Amino acid sequence: MDAIKSALEQIKKDRLTFPTDAAGLLLGLLVFSVAIFALHRALLIDPDTAQERVASFLLDLAKRAAAEEIEVPMSRQDIADYLGLTIETISRTLTQLEAQATIALPTSRRIVLCNRCALTRLDA
């Protein structure tokens, strides 16, 4: 890890000049590879689908409320921001879950868990 920090400091100091020796090139390649891997893991690979995120969120709310009927204390925009999704995706996902009879939406802020097993499968 110290070698990576050292290489990054050197790159900053040299204003992005490239090394000409083999060891410097390999170290630069290593730093680049680590950065690409971190970016790939953090931004591009997200195993949770929108349904999985929403299911997990609803199960968490139900657990806190200790009930099958949840009074959601947030707007759909707030839920979207919290889950890292768009409001359109939240609305579409809730509609899909309602069409599958997994949840019921009596009002925009009240959600009834009709099929907790289906939500739990999504959350797994």
Which has the higher per-residue pLDDT, 66 or 34? 66
* Average pLDDT of every residue of the chain: 81
Token duo for residue 19: 């090394």
Query: Which pTM does this prediction carry?
Result: 0.62
> Which helix (DSSP H) or strand (DSSP E) does residue 103 occupy?
strand 103-107
Give pLDDT, residue 42. 47
Q: Which of 81, 26, 90 is nearest to 54 (CA)?
A: 90
Domains of the chain: 2-44 (no CATH), 50-123 (1.10.10.10)
